[in-house]
Amino acid sequence: MEPKVVATQPFEGQRPGTSGLRKKVKVFHQPHYLANFVQSIFDSQEDLKGGGLVVGGDGRFYNREAIQVILRMAAANGVSKVLVGRGGILSTPAASCIIRKYKTQGGIILSASHNPGGPNGDFGIKFNVAAGGPAPENVTSAIYERTTKIDRYLTVDAPDVDLDRLGSMQIDAMVVEVIDPVADYAQLMESLFDFNAIHQLFNSGMFRMRFDAMHAVTGPYAVEILENRLGAEPGTVMNGEPKEDFGGGHPDPNLVHAEALVAMTRGMDGLDFGAASDGDGDRNMILGKDFFVTPSDSLAVLAANAHHAPGYKDGIVGIARSMPTSQAADRVAEELGIECYETPTGWKFFGNLLDAGRITLCGEESFGTGSDHVREKDGLWAVLFWLNLLAVRQQPVGDIVREHWRRFGRNYYTRHDYEGVDAPAAEQLMGHLRILLPDLPRKRLGEYQVRYADDFAYTDPVDGGRADKQGIRIGLEGGSRIVFRLSGTGTEGATLRVYLESYESDPHKIDRETQEVMRPLVLIARELAQIEARTGRLEPDVIT
């Protein structure tokens, strides 16, 4: 059948942000909006023609409709085969796993991650390349350029595909295979971790945990892996049923949005272990009894203990962390005698380092941890890694982390987010900081002498690609830092993120309360950036 050519006009603002194109559902609902972006992917990624494609999403509102649009357009654009998750479901790390395993030319993932869903919530779409990771800058730029000129897209007249039935069907010459979204991913996890040891931990009767899937995509994955394969008691997975609006919640696994889970780990009867993941399953939060593991510490602890997991028994070759992530991992890398890379925010910057075999583990302060097993951060992977560690070391979470701090020192860390700030005011605030930069290195801020101050720029060591203006970085004596950047995933106004870090090597001072320790740095940051005067905000909206 000849494809149908539909005339269209460019929409403004289809530039992918930190992780794909994210907009309100209402924006995506405009006629041709989604189709324009999808056609721009096909127009700029020529090897999709005649190639394979993975399609799936986090199950949020508009997921199923969007998948039908993409399938018809894929057929019209000459894709030869599409693998789609049953029910339109694929977590972000599972999509990455499937792209790699079946060697497709890429994948389209539908998600706005931790942003709320539902008719008034957010939707998102991103393209992942054949290596399984988020499209790098040059690819997202090419897609964006195409969106600014697009005047037609291709589709076919074909009925909807039954997404709930496993098996193959055709749209014209294209094969659509509806696959089990969990099986390949679960098999990969079994190859990396000691499932017997974790099974015994669950069987011991001495270990109590909950995993909060937050009514998002990880529910089916967690039930299959934790309850069915590892024998955790039924009910271990809470909020396990994916919902189009995430049950009205904010599928963001942090101390604020996963409050109920956090409460279950506290006090006399607190759980031994609590974990949660986000909308699309790539983030993780790790809790012990009365203990929160910061994502930055989690990366460092996993790096120092990697050899306990079968998949990493020969050690790790290198570590990478995003710039605002604490420097805890750097200290582990130094002791292991391996390289530690500092990249801009966003998983796409880890891809080249992973592909080139320069790093094994990588992570971000924003509850993202991962390794070379896929090319996305991976929530359940991190949870299983921790379970493997707990099973082998037979110690509580808090003891393992405290022991780590005694050995490496502690990087106290907090992030303050000011959400929905007036966008021009936020830009001006960043502009004001940039003007201050040249003079800062000679200054004292409170008790601290400034060591360096810059607007972070990155040159990819593998392909030489440059990324500028990735955040204001102020290094203080003794390893403390203040970082400012604007979010690239929000859909309303601007979000100012202030990242604060303070290093403590004295083993007698590693058990203090984080916000108390950070207070002087918080005040310096607020004053320096004139946050109150420029945004009208006295306090941040979210503190993690």
- Name the residues that contact Co ion, by CB under 5 A: 113, 278, 280, 282-283
Please, which residue, 81 or 243, has the CB nearer to ligand VG1?
Answer: 243
Tokens found for residue 226: 């934790």
Binding of residue 398 to ligand VG1 (CB under 6 A): no
Give whichever of 197 and 217 is closer to ligand VG1, judged by the CB atom. 217
- Distance between CA 291 and CA 401 in Å, rounded? 9
Q: Of 64, 62, 73, 60, whose CA–CA distance to 26 is shortest?
A: 62
Q: What are phi and psi of 82, to 5 degrees?
A: -120, 130
Q: Closer CB to Co ion, residue 81 or residue 377?
A: 377
Strand partners of residue 52:
81
Cα–Cα dist 243/455, whole Å:
40
Residue 326 has, within 13 A of its CA and on its CB side, a CA count of 27
Q: Give the position of tokens 């190859």.
A: 191
Of ligand VG1, Co ion, none, which one sits near residue 52, judging by CB under 5 to 8 A according to partner kind? Answer: none
The angle subtended at Cα 309 by Cα 303 and Cα 314, nearest 5°, is 75
Neighbouring C-beta atoms of residue 153, cutoff 10 Å: 25
| Closest residue to Co ion in the complex (CB) | 113
Minimum gap (Å) between residue 234 Cβ and Co ion = 27
Q: Alpha-carbon distance 419 to 540, whole Å?
A: 8
Of 51, 396, 441, 488, the one binding ligand VG1 by CB under 6 A = 488
Question: Minimum Å distance from CB 158 to ligand VG1?
Answer: 31
Contacts of 337 (CB under 8 A, 6+ apart): none
Close Cβ partners of 430 (under 8 Å, ≥ 6 residues apart) = 472, 484, 485, 486
Q: Residues 113 to 132: which contact ligand VG1 by CB under 6 A?
A: 113-114
What part of residues 307-326 is at the interface with ligand VG1 (CB under 6 A)? 322
Interacting residue with ligand VG1 among 40, 104, 265, 345 (CB under 6 A): 345
CB of 321 to ligand VG1, least distance (A): 10
Minimum Å gap between C-beta 132 and Co ion is 15
Question: If binding means CB under 6 A, how many residues of this protein chain bind ligand VG1?
Answer: 18
Residues 139-178 that bind ligand VG1 (CB under 6 A): none
Which of 43, 364, 460, 501 touches ligand VG1 by CB under 6 A? 364
Instruction: Judge residue 472's burial from the number of C-beta atoms within 10 Å of its C-beta, 0-12 exposed, 13-18 middle, 19 or more buried.
Output: buried
Q: Which is nearer to Co ion, 280 or 364 (CB)?
A: 280
Give me the residues paired with residue 120 across strands.
Answer: none
Candidate residues 91, 470, 489, 502; the one interacting with ligand VG1 per rule CB under 6 A: 489
Whether 322 is a known active-site residue: answer: no
From residue 506, alpha-carbon distances to 121, 300, 476, 519 in Å are 46, 18, 18, 19
Q: Which is nearer to Co ion, 52 or 279 (CB)?
A: 279
Near ligand VG1 in 19-48, by CB under 6 A: 19
Pick between residue 283 and residue 497 the one whose CB is nearest to Co ion: 283
Beta bridge partners of 237: 211
3 interacts with, out of Co ion, ligand VG1, none, CB within 5 to 8 A per kind: none
For Co ion, give the closer residue by CB, 113 or 294: 113
Q: How far is the CB of 92 from ligand VG1 (least distance, A)?
A: 7
Which parts of 251-290 interact with ligand VG1 (CB under 6 A)?
A: 278, 282-283
Phi, psi dihedrals of residue 140, rounded to the nearest 5°: -65, -35
**Rounded-to-integer distance, Cα 107 and Cα 167, Å:** 19
Q: Considering the candidates 40, 44, 111, 113, report the single residue annotated as catalytic.
A: 113
489 binds, options Co ion, ligand VG1, none, Cβ within 5 to 8 A by partner type: ligand VG1
Rg (CA), the chain: 23
> Of residues 347, 386, 412, 456, which one binds ligand VG1 by CB under 6 A?
347
Contact flag: residue 91 with ligand VG1 (CB under 6 A): no
Please, what is the minimum distance in Å from the beta carbon of residue 280 to Co ion?
Answer: 4
Among 305, 366, 371, 535, binds ligand VG1 (CB under 6 A): 366
Residue 156 has which token pair?
């076919």
* C-alpha torsion angle, residues 24, 26, 31, 37 (rounded to 10): 10
Which residues on neighbouring strands pair with residue 18, listed in sequence order?
A: none
Alpha helices in 193-311 (DSSP H): 195-203, 218-222, 259-264, 295-305
Residue 10 backbone dihedrals phi, psi, to 5 degrees: -65, 145
CB of 415 to ligand VG1, least distance (A): 9
Please, what is the minimum distance in Å from the beta carbon of residue 134 to ligand VG1?
Answer: 8
Residues labelled as active-site residues: 113
User: Where do contacts with ligand VG1 occur on this chain (CB under 6 A)?
Assistant: 18-19, 113-114, 278, 282-283, 322, 345-347, 364, 366, 368, 487-489, 497
